[in-house]
Amino acid sequence: MFGIAAGRRRATFARCRGTRVARFLQPGDRRREIGPGVGSCGNSAFTGQRTVVADIARHPYWANYKTLAEQAGLGACWSEPILGAAKKVLGTFAIYQRYPASPDNFALRLLDMVAHFVALAIERKQAEEHIYQLANYDPLTGLPNRGQLNNHLKYALGLARRTNGQLALMFLDIDHFKDVNDTLGHSIGDALLVELANRLRAALRAEDIVTRLGGDEFIVLLPGANANAAAYIAQKLLDAISAPFRIEHYDLNMSASIGIALYPNDGEDLETLSKSADTAMYRVKLEGRHGCRFFTPEMHANSARNLQLVNGLRHALERGELELHYQPQLSLKTGKVTGAEACCVGGIRSWARCRRPNSFRWPRTAV
């Protein structure tokens, strides 16, 4: 009869012959405690060494479990620790006998061989789970990553299209988070992000998804949410973030800026919805932070104009599109020139095409 206990703190046993033994190996009882002299497997898991109990009825390791062993019809138990590559105990493997007996060479080789193969299987499974975790979740906060968000959003969009429903996408940015990193260090900043992620999860509904985009930016997907529901949840998030944080011996007070985009009015895919929510979030930043705004088409027009201006100014000097003008300052009492204002004026080419030939060139964009 064989039994496998996988895990340092808790175990799962493989099938064994005999219903009495199977009942004896059921989870959730004291027989799986780990410690010195706690049964055969408990002692092996604690010491990392093979434990051979040839006579359960007389061995002190089984003093507290003799009645249970008699009910299961067990006379001997030989336990082998399952050791990983770093010699860490992953679990135990045991051979049970109905009568008192000591293991022969074959049984000892079997213990060693099975424990080795089980260790390989456990570590392979752990590696697969670790790779899956890295591929799908943020390593710091444990939140789903952008790939997971894409999958959930595709499903939510498909459901919304079929049912003529709605959903909301939020961009959330922590205000002045850089000050925490610069002043208190990145370890405090990381601990703050972990606590903040826990608060966001607690404030959301079960069907909502919050992901960490990077740094101090988060994306929240609200399936089936209309404008009223999105505004309510956004306020819950703002309230959760504004409550003081206790990180080590620091009391930190934080706030956030949230931009909200609604399907289908503000976009019908992740890229468009993300762009709209991001634009709305930056509008909150411009207006003083600590709040939320819904996306509007006017925001997009302003963003496009600002982008055109920034890109134009990058090349304006080399293209000779900047002009320096001086405007005199006059004294109201004497009428004399007392100084001058310097103004750098840029006539961006793409805008210049809109002016009529020979028309007066002022006013233009002043820098």
Q: How confident is the model at residue 304 (pLDDT cuts 50, 70, 90)?
A: low
> Is the per-residue pLDDT at 136 higher than 60?
yes
DSSP conformation class of 30:
G
Tokens, residue 365: 């964009």
**By the 8 A CB rule, do 234 and 258 touch?**
yes
> Is the per-residue pLDDT at 11 higher than 60?
no
Which of 303, 254, 312 lies closest to 282 in space, CA to CA? 303
Residue type at 200?
A: L
Buried b (16+ CB within 10 A) or exposed e, 106-130: eebebbeebbeebbeebbeeeeeee
Element (H, E) at 235: helix 227-242
Tell me the Ramachandran region of residue 216: left when phi exceeds 0, alpha when psi lies from -120 to 50, beta otherwise: alpha
pTM over 0.95: no
Residue type at 362?
A: W
**By the 8 A CB rule, do 79 and 43 touch?**
yes
Same fold, 2-136 and 146-295: no
**By the 8 A CB rule, do 135 and 249 touch?**
no
> Is the per-residue pLDDT at 255 higher than 60?
yes
> Is the per-residue pLDDT at 315 higher than 80?
no
State how far the Cα of 184 lies from the Cα of 196, in Å rounded to an integer.
17
All structural domains of the chain with their residue ranges: 2-136, 146-295, 317-366
**By the 8 A CB rule, do 78 and 111 touch?**
yes
CATH number for the domain formed by residue range(s) 2-136: 3.30.450.40
> Is the per-residue pLDDT at 348 higher than 50?
no
Beta strands in the chain (DSSP E): 2-6, 51-53, 76-83, 89-97, 167-174, 209-214, 217-223, 245-247, 250-252, 256-263, 291-294, 322-330, 337-346, 365-366
- Could you read off the pLDDT of 12-64 as tens digits, one per residue? 334 344 445 555 555 444 446 789 999 999 999 999 999 999 999 999 999 98
Residue type at 249?
A: H
Alpha helical stretches, state H, 48-168: 66-72, 105-136, 146-163
State how far the Cα of 156 lies from the Cα of 158, in Å rounded to an integer.
5
> In a 10 Å sphere around its CB, with 0-12 CB exposed, 13-18 middle and 19+ buried, how is residue 289 labelled?
middle
In order of 57, 222, 264, the CA distances from 46 in angstroms are 22, 47, 59
End-to-end C-alpha distance for the chain, whole angstroms: 85
Tell me the Ramachandran region of residue 22: left when phi exceeds 0, alpha when psi lies from -120 to 50, beta otherwise: alpha
DSSP three-state, residue 24: helix
Q: Which CATH architecture has domain 146-295?
A: 2-Layer Sandwich (3.30)
Q: How confident is the model at residue 350 (pLDDT cuts 50, 70, 90)?
A: very low
pLDDT score recorded for residue 8: 42
> Is the per-residue pLDDT at 274 higher than 60?
yes
Name residue, tokens 């988070």: 177
DSSP conformation class of 15:
P
State how far the Cα of 64 lies from the Cα of 270, in Å rounded to an integer.
61
Q: Please tell me the total number of residues recorded for the chain in this structure.
A: 367
Tokens, residue 123: 């570590």
Q: Taking all residues of the chain, what is their mean pLDDT, rounded to a whole number? A: 83
The mean per-residue pLDDT over the stretch 306-317 comes to 63
